Amino acid sequence: MAEKSSVLEKLSPCSKEEIAAWEAYGQRAGLDMHEHPLHYLFPDAKTNAARQGWKAGIAWALALLADDPPSERAAEERRVSLADCPIGLFLAVGGALCLKTEYADNEGRVDAYIVESGEFFWGGAHTIDEQRRVMVTPVPLDQIADAIRLPLAKPAPTAPEPVAGGDGWQPISTAPKDGTPIIVFGGRFDRPDVTQADGDWWNSATARGLGSIPTHWRPLPEAPYTRAEPEGSR
């Protein structure tokens, strides 16, 4: 029972293990893994689609692990033709998780894809008519919804906050907001970073700091030299 609970925890979307596995897969697949600076979202359409398919697969696995897998006979009773299958996830006879969309071409071909590879789903058919008659098992939406509602992993502990007044650190409420470059720390800024504020918006080269509010700031130190070289320096 403890082993099953451990597997469920690791499979939970956005757990440390799940994120590591997804990112390793994305690199192997050559996906554009650049993410939104504030949210774990991928602007690239192909990567975003792969991520959603990945999460759908996890949801199905979690649903099966949470309860005993349905018997083969029960699965056969739920099978329908691809043409009659509702829009959403379904299982092919071989067990592959697939997705049926709301689209179809003028010839009647059903728009469906294999989640893992993104390939078009034919199910072993050679003609459009055969594809429409391929037997599949719809994935119940209530099982997916229950799996998605599992609690997210706890965030990693953040670095300790600097002490106000120590080594020049001051509360962020006292920081200049006229574009003056300063050093900030705290909040989403998990390491000291040079930035400046434009009103309430904090600009930074550190992606995770974009748009977030740090907790402390300190002035930049004096430069080690000026642009004008002193006499006799050459």
pTM: 0.35
pLDDT-based confidence at 209, cuts 50/70/90? very low
pLDDT at 134: 93
Give pLDDT, residue 10: 67
In this prediction, residue 1 carries a pLDDT of 46
3-state secondary structure of 145: helix
Q: Return the ∠ at Cα 142 (arms to 137 and 147), rounded to 5°.
A: 100
Task: Give the residue with greater pLDDT, 67 vs 70.
Answer: 67
Q: What is the pLDDT of residue 112?
A: 92
Q: Report which secondary-structure segment, H or E, holds 202.
A: strand 201-204
Give me the sheet containing 97-104, strands edge to edge: 80-81, 135-138, 88-91, 97-104, 110-114
